[in-house]
Amino acid sequence: MTEMRALVVDDEPDLRELLDITLSRMGLEVDAAEDLAAARRCLSNRADYALCLTDMRLPDGNGLTLIKEINRDHEQIPVAMITAYGKVEDAVTALKYGAFDFVSKPVDLEVLRNLVRTALKLRQDDAEKSATRVPPSTEKPASKPVGKEHVDGGEGEKSLLLQRLIGQSDAIKRVRQTIVKLARSQAPVLISGDSGTGKELAARLIHDLGPRAEEPFVAVNCGAIPSELMESEFFGHIKGSFTGADADKEGLFQAAQGGTLFLDEVADLPLVMQVKLLRVIQEKTVRPIGGRQEIKIDVRILSASHKPLKPLVEDGSFRNDLYYRLNVIELHMPSLAERRSDIPILARHFLNNIAEQWGEPPRTLNDSAIDLLRAHNYSGNVRELVNILQRAVTLCEDDAISREDLSLEGEPSDNTPSIGRPDDLSLDDYIEDVEKQILEKALQEAGFNKTEAARQLGITFRSLRYKLKKYGID
C-alpha cells in the first residue's frame, strides 16, 4: 500500500510536533516546514501529498500565498488553514482563496481529526475515479438520445449525478462546472436564485459529489419552523428542560453529523437565531436546551435564499457577520429566462416523469406548444413548468399536447386571476379577493402541502399561515 504523506507548514516547533504526532497516529507520514521557502522545496520534491496544513502567518510571507500556489500547481492536494482563535475573517479569506477547510488555534484535536478524515476521503475518491476512468475512444460517439442529458468528462458516476441537473445551455453548464469544484471544498456556499430554480438540487449535488456523500444530507426550510421551536429543532433538547420535553431530542446539527446541513430560505431566520447560528458555525459546537455540555459537530453548511441577502444586511434584518460567514462562495442558479434553450429538454424530461408517475403513455409536444413554452414568462421557474405540464397532460385528449392544452394565452387560465374589477367591489376588497384566489390555487397545486405552497408563492410559512387564517381558508 502506498504511504500517505501530509505537509505541515508552521513556524511554531511545538505545534509542528503536535500535528506530527496526531497525523502519525492516523497513519500519515509527515513532512514539516517552518516557512514558505521550506514548504516550496517540499512541494518541488513531492507532488502527491494527501493533505497540507499551513499557518496563516509565516516568517517569510503569508499562508494565503501558499494556498494560491497549491491550487494553481497541485490542485489535487487539499490544503487547510490554521488560523488564530477568533480570527473568523482569516478563515473566510482562506476559504475564498481555495482552502479546503480551516482549524483554529489552539488546535482541537477532534476537529483536526475530522478535517483530516474528510481530506483523505476526498483523495481516496479522486484516486478511485482516476483508476476507473475510461480512456478516450477513437470510435465515433453514438448520437445522444432525445431528451437525455449529455455530460462530458468520462467519469461515469459523477456524470450520472450531474445529469440530475438537466440542460445544455451555457448557463447550466457553468453551474455544473462550479458544483464539481465546490464539492471538493468544505467552504460554506450560499445558493442564490429565484423560487423554483433548483437550489436544493444543487445543494444535494454538492453533497453527493463530495467526500461527505456517504454521510447524512439534512435539509431544513428555515421559514417553516415556528420561532418558539427553532432552537430546539436546530440544537435539540434534554428531557425535562421545558414543558412538553418528555424525552431527549436530537437537533438538526446532530442529525447531520459528518455530513451536510442545508439551510433553505435562510433569510427567514429571526435575528436571535442568527446570533446562535453564527456561534455554532464559528465554535463548531452545539449545546442542547437544558444541556450542560457542548457537543462537537462536524457539519458542512450550505444555505439558500430566493431573497437577495445583501439588502437585508443593509436594512439590519440579517446580520452582517453571519452573511459573510455563509456567503464564502456564492452559487447562482439561473432562472428559466436565463436558459430558455433548455425548456424543450426539460419539458420532455418532465413529461416522461409524469407519464411514469401517472401510469400513462408519455405525451409529446407539438411545435406550437414548444414555441409557447419558450416564450412564457415563468415566475415560478422549473416548478411552474412542471405544474403547467401536469395540467396540460390532464387536459390533453390526444398523444400530442397543443398550445391550447397549455392554457397560457387568450382567456385567463384557472391559476391567473382576472384583472377586471367588478363595480360593486372596493379596491381593497378586490385585492383581498385576488389574494385569496391565489392562495387557494397555490394550495391545490401543492397538494395542500402548506410548506410547498409557501415556497411556490415566495413567502414564509408563517406568512402563509397568517394569510390562511385571515381569509378563513382551511
233 and 312 part of one domain: yes
Rounded CA separation 100/80 (Å): 5
- How far is Cα 62 from Cα 93, in angstroms, rounded to an integer? 12
Q: What span, in angstroms and rounded, lies between the C-alpha atoms of 245 and 232?
A: 10
Comparing 80-84, 201-205, 429-433, the range with the smallest average pLDDT is 429-433
Any domain includes 448? no
Kindly state whether residues 162 and 216 are assigned to the same domain: yes
Do 344 and 316 belong to one domain? no
- What is the pLDDT, as a whole number, of residue 86? 63
The CATH number covering residue 399 comes to 1.10.8.60
Does residue 1 surpass a pLDDT of 80? no
pLDDT for 88-134, tens place per residue? 778 888 888 889 888 888 888 988 999 999 888 887 766 665 555 54
pLDDT score of 302: 97
Peptide bond between residue 106 and the one before it cis (omega within 30 degrees of 0): yes
- Cα 11–12–18 angle (5° rounding)? 125
Residue-range definition of the domain harbouring residue 25: 5-130
What's the gap between Cα 14 and its chain centre? 38
CA–CA gap between residue 344 and residue 227 (Å, rounded): 42
191 domain-assigned: yes
**Do residues 214 and 344 share a domain?**
no
- In sequence order, the 6+-apart residues with CB closer than 8 A to the CB of 283 are 294
**321 and 340 fall within a common domain:** no
Q: How far apart are CA 253 and CA 263, in angstroms?
A: 11
Q: State how many domains the chain has.
A: 3
Cα 389 from Cα 385, distance rounded (Å): 6
User: Which residue in 283, 327, 285, 324 sits closest to 304, CA to CA?
Assistant: 327
- Percent of the chain, pLDDT > 70? 87
For residue 37, tell me if it sits in a domain: yes
- Asked, for residue 258, whether it belongs to a domain, the answer is yes
More confident residue, 360 or 145: 360
Q: What is the pLDDT of residues 372-388, one digit of tens each?
A: 999 999 988 999 999 99
115: which 3 cell numbers? 478535517
In a domain, 368, yes or no: yes
For the segment 395-415, what is each residue's pLDDT rounded down to a tens digit?
888 889 999 999 885 434 444
